[in-house]
């Protein structure tokens, strides 16, 4: 029996999206060409942009297609810093300590290269951003050149939903732009692009059942200036490069399907997640559930198991045909404690026993039952392995 519980890393493609994607791969024509084939390809991209914009409440002109979330995040974060390149002092970026590495590594590079300063924002024991600290930094640095605030909508490891409304309200009081990394939340909870009054938002195709290699940076029409990361052809505002016709078509189709079931799936996945949580706790294993108890992604369960190494647990579960993760797939194979858990106050030793279960549309009660059934044996073997 094969059980896939790593949906936060990548979602299996919707069957109808895979069919559409394969069909559209046969479309001939560069969408920037002015002949008939090129314009037919361009029409497919424009229709995809309009569909996504309509579904999320944006203007089609606000959608910039990218190669994925990492590029989208880097485009805004680095672009804001580069927009201040003529300033006497490097601009300041406010960044929670628990961001995805697409953000952390980008701002760390900016700081090391002298393009920006980073003001690290702490979190509480559930991994929720400290809004008071953001307010304190902005009040204390009123004379500083603030490039912006970036934050996850929901933490990609422990699943805690962040107070985006409060973060935006604080930033707006000081005239500071906000970017959100909505990658793990989009398609699982409500993401209010228009209502949050954001400057920018990053989303990804393969996190909603579309193909890998496609994403979008949504940029408000009145957003603060930022420099393009990729130059060459100005095929899109802020992004050069020949656009992926099949990828954008499939991305739009996946967004439509995912958002069409988000309400019903949220309830179903919460029930399955809670069953898994209760079953693992009832098994008698010494574990701790991490992240917010109530205000978390519906498909996410994150635990740490005392006396175990998360990688060993992962391998032993994989031997049973069960796929899970120890955290972000982007850091898989790196034998270091999770920076998210450390920022939450978990010890190095405790953080090493981390496991993340993420569920999806194909997850069944039988899948959950299988994990609960084998978990005590897996933990026992992991502890014996040291």
Distance CA 199, CA 202 (A): 11
> Terminus-to-terminus CA distance in the chain, angstroms?
27
pLDDT at 184: 97
Write out pLDDT tens, residues 13-54.
Answer: 999 999 999 999 999 999 999 999 999 999 999 999 999 999
List the domains of the chain with CATH numbers. Answer: 3-10+262-384 (3.90.1150.10), 15-257 (3.40.640.10)
pLDDT at 306: 95
The dihedral sign for the CA sequence 176, 121, 331, 205:
negative
pLDDT band (50, 70, 90) for residue 316:
very high
Distance CA 100, CA 73 (A): 10
Q: Tell me: pLDDT of 368 over 80.
A: yes
Distance CA 244, CA 205 (A): 12
pLDDT at 333: 55
What does residue 8 show for φ and ψ, rounded to 5 degrees?
A: -70, -25
Distance CA 98, CA 156 (A): 9
Active-site residue (options: 330, 342, 361, 369)? 330
- From 160, 162, 185, 163, select the one nearest 291 (Cα to Cα): 160
Write out pLDDT tens, residues 163-215.
Answer: 999 999 999 999 999 999 999 999 999 999 999 999 999 999 999 999 999 99
pLDDT band (50, 70, 90) for residue 327:
confident
pLDDT at 160: 98
- Over the chain, what is the mean pLDDT? 95
Distance CA 240, CA 73 (A): 16
Q: What is the 3-state secondary structure (H, E, C) of the chain?
A: CCEECECCCCCCCCHHHHHHHHHHCCCCCCCCCCCHHHHHHHHHHHHHHHHHHHHHCCCHHHEEEECCHHHHHHHHHHHHHHCCCCCCCCCEEEEECCCCHHHHHHHHHHHHCCCCEEEEECECCCCCECHHHHHHHHHHCCCCCEEEEEEECECCCCCEECCHHHHHHHHHHCCCCEEEECCCCECCECCCHHHHCCCEEEEECCCCCCCCCCEEEEECCCCCCCCCCCCCCCCECCECCCCCHHHHHHHHHHHHHHHHHHHHHHHHHHHHHHHHHHHHHHCCCCEEEECCCCCECCCEEEEEECCCCHHHHHHHHHHCCEECECCCHHHCCCCCCCHHHHHCCCCHHHHCCEEEEECCCCCCHHHHHHHHHHHHHHHHHHHHCC
pTM, full prediction: 0.95
- Asked about 330 being catalytic, the answer comes back as yes
Distance CA 340, CA 351 (A): 9
Token pair, residue 69, equals: 């979330």
What does residue 101 show for φ and ψ, rounded to 5 degrees?
A: -65, -20
pLDDT at 81: 97
**84 or 144: whose pLDDT is higher?**
84
Write out pLDDT tens, residues 143-172.
Answer: 679 999 999 999 999 999 999 999 999 999
Query: Are the beta carbons of 190 and 225 closer than 8 angstroms?
Result: no
pLDDT band (50, 70, 90) for residue 234:
confident
Q: Tell me: pLDDT of 308 over 60.
A: yes
Q: Tell me: pLDDT of 250 over 90.
A: yes
Burial (CB count <10 Å: 0-12, 13-18, 19+), residue 33: middle
Please give the C-alpha separations between residue 293 and each of 114, 198, 236, in angstroms, as whole numbers. Answer: 40, 27, 42
pLDDT at 386: 73
What would the mean pLDDT of 123-141 be, rounded to a whole number? 94
Distance CA 148, CA 378 (A): 45
């Amino acid at each position: 029996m094969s059980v896939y519980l790593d949906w936060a890393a990548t979602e299996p493609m919707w069957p109808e999206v895979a069919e559409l994607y394969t069909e559209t791969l046969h479309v001939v024509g560069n969408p920037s060409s002015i002949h008939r084939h090129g314009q037919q390809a361009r029409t497919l991209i424009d229709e995809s942009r309009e569909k996504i914009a309509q579904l999320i409440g944006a203007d089609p002109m606000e959608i910039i297609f990218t190669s994925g979330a990492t590029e989208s995040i880097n485009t805004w974060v680095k672009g804001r810093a580069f927009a201040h390149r003529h300033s006497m002092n490097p601009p300041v970026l406010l960044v929670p300590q628990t961001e995805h590495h697409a953000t952390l590594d980008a701002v760390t590079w900016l700081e090391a290269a002298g393009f920006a300063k980073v003001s690290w924002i702490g979190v509480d024991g559930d991994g929720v951003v400290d809004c008071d600290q953001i307010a304190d930094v902005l009040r204390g640095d009123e004379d500083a050149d603030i490039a912006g605030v970036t934050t996850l909508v929901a933490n990609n490891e422990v699943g805690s939903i962040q107070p985006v409304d409060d973060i935006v309200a604080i930033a707006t009081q000081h005239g500071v732009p906000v970017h959100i990394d909505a990658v793990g939340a989009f398609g699982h909870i409500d993401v209010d692009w228009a209502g949050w009054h954001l400057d920018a938002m990053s989303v990804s195709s393969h996190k909603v059942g579309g193909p890998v290699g496609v994403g979008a940076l949504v940029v408000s029409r009145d957003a603060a200036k930022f420099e393009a990361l990729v130059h060459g052809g100005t095929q899109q505002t802020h992004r050069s490069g020949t656009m992926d016709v099949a990828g954008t078509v499939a991305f739009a189709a996946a967004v439509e399907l995912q958002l069409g079931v988000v309400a019903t799936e949220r309830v179903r996945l919460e029930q399955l997640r809670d069953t898994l949580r209760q079953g693992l706790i009832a098994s008698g294993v010494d574990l701790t559930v991490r992240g917010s108890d109530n205000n978390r992604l519906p498909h996410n369960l994150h635990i740490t198991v005392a006396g175990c190494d998360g990688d060993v647990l992962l391998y032993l579960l994989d031997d049973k045909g069960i796929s899970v993760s120890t955290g972000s797939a982007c850091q898989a194979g790196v034998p270091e404690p999770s920076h998210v858990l450390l920022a939450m106050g978990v010890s190095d030793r405790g953080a090493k026993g981390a496991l993340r279960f993420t569920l999806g549309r194909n997850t069944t009660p039988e899948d959950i039952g299988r994990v609960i059934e084998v978990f005590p044996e897996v933990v026992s073997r992991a502890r014996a392995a040291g």
